[in-house]
Structure 1
């Protein structure tokens, strides 16, 4: 079972058009390329689909190899082909033969665009890693991922696809619509860095609004500040809160049921538009701008948030990954700067997000960058905030010390 698995998706094929519709001609070409690559043909099966809506039918075929297989499917109406070549390397390394076969097939179809994938299958002495490898893309060309031996939940809520996974490294991990949200092992990176820089800068934060944040991790960090009297957590999806209550107690530590926390299930933008309440701190703990949360990243919404801030208040949000999402970070920071006189961007590496991550505190007057380490230390002690895993007095200043490539994106 040890071997190399290659796939290719071909688009806008400009080669011999008959290869997309003529099963005999396609089979002949595949046989010739298979033998030319040095692979051993054992058997084969080909099927041409009937014409449909005036369009010629495509062809599906497979060649069984002594080394494994070649599978091919054509879509003539789209000029598309999918290819799948797998070879076993148990007794000899056949990788170069698989690569030669795949290249020959691509040359025959002459696609204008190609998407290729390469997977090493099996290990000589059994698996070195267990579980499902789940990738998340930072860009169409860059991805990262983790293996999860156990899938606890996979369900469709009214708003999104919710997954709960478990691994030894990350513990329970929440995903929404294919994006990593939080994990038991690393949640402190994001939640402490989002909560404490603005909260410790404010002399006595009493009321906070969290839009999103249904896992409760951010609320749990804010409750460490003894002046906090009230937190409104406006979460659109009640099933996120329900799953957090059942499974993610190690992240929220009871914050979702703390009497100081009001869980408001509904549209966060509607809550901001309708409330007469004023908040010392507002946190936009949202999914990314390309998701349905997109309207909450607009300049118009930032102006609405500004209206619900008490004097000296601030809004905190994440901007994305400044290396991989330059345009997004540049645009979001520019929108914030058009609304708030004081914009302080900061950043940290978040393991679950696979990159150095950008956040910002925006305010009319609150300036966390102006707070020195001695004052941060004094306030942490006065408020009895201890046992943090990421944030401390020295880290406070370091968060706002930005690399030049990140600075260049800011207004």
Structure 2
């Protein structure tokens, strides 16, 4: 063990996590990302971008199920979906499980991410890239939402952290254009980091989303890979009733789909919107 290479995450300045590398599978820097993929005995294959963990084989299902199914079942009538980012294919896989969805548009800036994940993380997408409903577009997410005329029931921003090529997906201009591209009763969701260590990002997102959505909040899930506590997902909609769906309504909607999940369930859905008081206090002051 002492002879194995150790990889340190560099997201937080004064503390963090490390992984023992059993085998490096891929390592290369391109104009968008510095990518590394390696094997770890506990978490399986791990992909890092710009020295920040992006996904692992072991616990990816938590992230992808929560970012997908919470808005889909809250809405109840999703037909057209836009995914920004998500090149590993996990969000796409979960979206494709819903046969009632008509169209899926996915915008990824780096085709290399998609190709690498098809090779090293095939279970993430599970052949979802072959779904006939998918339109895959290689473009910058902000550029796409500025220029498209298409409207969506759901927009999911599955971005990296707000550094490098992912930074623009946290700008007010991005949220404004996402709002413009949503249909009536549409929902916007996005990953928003670990609240305990990235509270300034939570505040920034909250302030910006409040400018464009009547109902702005966050929901959460605990994902072992993302060090520091609960991961936050931003939520924006103009219809508060979508977020306040009852447990009975959720159970009924989920039962009709006959889908089986590894993390998501109706009780998790409802409770995920219950935020710790320190976050509520912080948002109240924003």
Give the TM-score category using the shorter length. Answer: over 0.9
Matched, 1:178 2:51: yes
SS in structure 2 of the partner of residue 219 of structure 1 = helix
Q: Counterparts of 1:367 and 1:353 in 2: how far apart (Å)? A: 30
- For the Cα contact (< 8 Å) 1:157–1:239, is it kept in 2? no
Given candidates 328, 335, 338, the residue that maps to 2:201 is 328
Q: CA deviation at 1:139?
A: 2.3
For the 8 Å contact 2:190–2:234, the answer to whether it is kept is yes
Correspondence for 2:247 = 373
Q: Does 1:403 find its partner at 2:263?
A: no
* 8 A Cα contact 1:200 1:376, kept in partner: yes
Shift in Å at residue 290 of structure 1? 2.6
Q: How does 1:180-199 map to 2 (within 5 A)?
A: 180-199=53-72
Give the one of 28, 32, 57 matched to 1:155. Answer: 28
Within 5 Å, give how 1:11-410 maps onto structure 2: 127=1, 131-355=4-228, 356-365=230-239, 367-386=241-260, 388-410=261-283
How large is the Cα RMSD of the aligned pairs? 1.5
| Displacement after TM superposition at 1:133 (Å) | 2.1
Q: What displacement does 1:150 show?
A: 0.9
Q: Name stretches of at least 5 consecutive residues in structure 1 with no aligned partner.
A: 1-126
1:409 offset after TM fit, Å? 2.5
Q: TM-score, length-normalised on structure 1?
A: 0.66
Structure 1 segments (4+ residues) deviating >3 Å: 366-369
- How far is 1:319 from its partner? 1.8
Relative contact order higher in (CA < 8 Å, ≥ 6 apart): 2
C-alpha distance in structure 2 between counterparts of 1:130 and 1:353, whole Å:
26
Q: Deviations over 1:35-83 (max 9, x none)?
A: xxxxxxxxxxxxxxxxxxxxxxxxxxxxxxxxxxxxxxxxxxxxxxxxx
Q: Secondary structure at the match of 1:137?
A: coil
Question: What is the alpha-carbon distance in structure 2 between the residues aligned to residue 300 and residue 136 of structure 1?
Answer: 30
Q: Provide the C-alpha distance between the structure 2 equivalents of 1:145 and 1:283, rounded to a whole number of angstroms.
A: 29
Instruction: Give 1:148 shift.
Output: 2.1
Secondary structure of 1:292's match?
helix
Unaligned runs of 5+ in 2: none
Superposed displacement of residue 138, structure 1 = 4.2
Q: Name the CA distance, whole Å, in 2 between partners of 1:366 and 1:281.
A: 15
Deviates more, 1:364-373 or 1:338-347: 364-373
Do the aligned partners of residues 340 and 153 (structure 1) sit closer, same or farther apart at CA in structure 2, a change above 3 Å counting? Answer: same
Structure whose residues are more often strand by fraction: 1
Deviates more, 1:165-174 or 1:279-288: 165-174
Tell me which structure has the larger Cα radius of gyration.
Answer: 1
- CA drift of 1:344 comes to 2.7
Secondary structure, counterpart of 1:289 in structure 2: coil
Count of residues paired in the alignment? 283
2: CA distance, partners of 1:130 / 1:197? 43
Verify the 8 A CA contact 1:193 1:391 in the aligned structure 2: yes
Deviations 1:68-127 (A, max 9, x none): xxxxxxxxxxxxxxxxxxxxxxxxxxxxxxxxxxxxxxxxxxxxxxxxxxxxxxxxxxx4
Offset of residue 153 of structure 1: 0.3
Q: What is the CA distance between 1:368 and its match in structure 2?
A: 4.4
The Cα of 1:292 is off from its aligned counterpart by 2.4
Q: TM-score normalised to the size of structure 2? A: 0.94
Take 2:245 and 2:4, find their aligned partners in 1: how far apart are those partners? 45
2: CA distance between counterparts of 1:157 and 1:245? 18
